[in-house]
Amino acid sequence: MADTIQPYVGSRVLEIGAGIGNLTRFLVRRREIYVAADIDEEHMARLKTRFQHRSNLYICKCDLTSSDDFTAFAEEMDSVVCLNVLEHIEDDLQGLRNIRSALKPGGRVIILVPQGQEIFGTLDTVLGHYRRYTHRQLSERMEEAGFRVERILEFNRISRPGWYVTGRILKKDTLSPFMLKIFDSLVWLWRRIDHRLPWRPTSIVAIGVKQT
């Protein structure tokens, strides 16, 4: 994921939904300012401990649904990274508008969301997803919020069959830890073959530019 979005990330970055920093640790390097934001107190405590020696990194609470949480960043950032967050909020348009408010004119947003309502199942419900997106739906939502969609990348085809079988057919609400461990151990292989698989991706990544 980090390799996929790295070329679009600038020097002043706000990451929304940073969690415990698994992506942050790859993106924070060589940035002028990096703000890792979350709404979970335990996550923020982990972030502060994990990155305490990073002088360019700041930790803060930022709720994608709250315009007030974005006032401190008004037109300050050249990049906003928002991965696997937008699908968790009911009013995704307002969330995108909040992101736009934090960006300088011409700044970029990098959004990753789950693709394809046709595979929406119990796993999505348990994770708190309101929806899965098509390319067109995500593009239209971003344009409505004031972004020009620069491109949409397809990400992670390999997991789609497993997601469909587990969540739609078997209607399970968890993924097997054993299978996840195997999946993680074979990332080197998935990286090589993922783009060759004939079915749709599990996720899509949209790169949007703030319109002036």
Mean pLDDT on 2-8: 94
Q: Residue 205's pLDDT band (boundaries 50, 70, 90)? A: very high
Q: For 163-179, write each residue's pLDDT tens digit.
A: 999 999 999 999 888 88
Name which of 63, 33, 37, 32 is nearest 48 in CA terms: 37
pLDDT in tens, 75-102: 999 999 999 999 999 999 999 999 999 9
Give dist(CA 153, CA 100) in Å, integer.
20
Q: Say if residues 76 and 48 touch (Cβ distance below 8 Å).
A: no
CA distance 75 to 177: 42
Domain residues of the chain, as ranges?
Answer: 2-210
Task: Tell me the pLDDT band of 143, cut-offs 50, 70 and 90.
Answer: very high
Hey, what CATH topology would domain 2-210 get? Rossmann fold (3.40.50)
d(CA 16, CA 127): 17
Q: What is the pLDDT of residue 175?
A: 84
Query: CB–CB of 80/110 below 8 Å?
Result: yes
> What global pTM score does this model have?
0.94
